[in-house]
Amino acid sequence: MKMIMCIVDDMDAYSLIEGLTKRSIQVTKLTSSGGFLKKGNTTLLIGLEDSQVREVVELVKSLCHPRNEMVSVEPMSLPGEAVIPFSFNVKIGGATIFVLDVEKYEKV
């Protein structure tokens, strides 16, 4: 038995959950946020048989794509100094997938 812990962008979560439930794969959704941009993420916990891992990983890859987003940042300044905000491109989205061995499983 395995558990996949999958962290995806909020924009991709709905379609991934829908794809999993259509395949009769149970999923638990947790709300989370990223540390760098402090944007919304979704963490999914997916318990499954070893034989289903490849199918789920391929589904995640097909539905969760990285994309670029322009982010504005205001630099820190000292009192009396002019502050000029600047923007830069950041890669967001995609997925982070952890596949974990489950030592014991009980459903009560």
- Longest Cα–Cα distance of the chain, Å, equals 63
The enclosing H or E element of 13 equals helix 10-22
Q: What is the structure's pLDDT at 94?
A: 86
Distances (CA, A) of 6 to 10, 25, 52, 81: 12, 14, 15, 44
Neighbours of 97 (CB within 10 A): 18
**Residues 2-101, CATH architecture:** 2-Layer Sandwich (3.30)
- CB under 8 Å to 35, separation ≥6 — which residues? none
* pLDDT recorded at residue 2: 96
Query: What's residue 33's pLDDT?
Result: 75
Q: How many CB atoms lie within 10 A of CB 93?
A: 16
Phi-psi category of residue 93: left, alpha or beta, with phi > 0 → left and psi -120 to 50 → alpha: left
Q: Is residue 99 very low, low, confident or very high in pLDDT (cuts 50, 70, 90)?
A: very high
Strand ranges for the chain from DSSP E = 2-9, 28-33, 40-48, 66-73, 86-93, 95-101
What digits encode the pLDDT tens for the residues 35-67?
Answer: 666 677 899 999 999 999 999 999 999 999 888
Q: How do the domains of the chain map onto residue ranges? A: 2-101
* Range with lowest mean pLDDT among 8-12, 42-46, 64-68, 89-93: 89-93
The chain-wide mean pLDDT, for the chain, equals: 86
Instruction: Look up residue 5 and give its amino acid.
Output: M
Percent over 90 (pLDDT), the chain? 56
Task: Report, as an integer, the average pLDDT of 59-76.
Answer: 82
pLDDT at position 53, please?
97
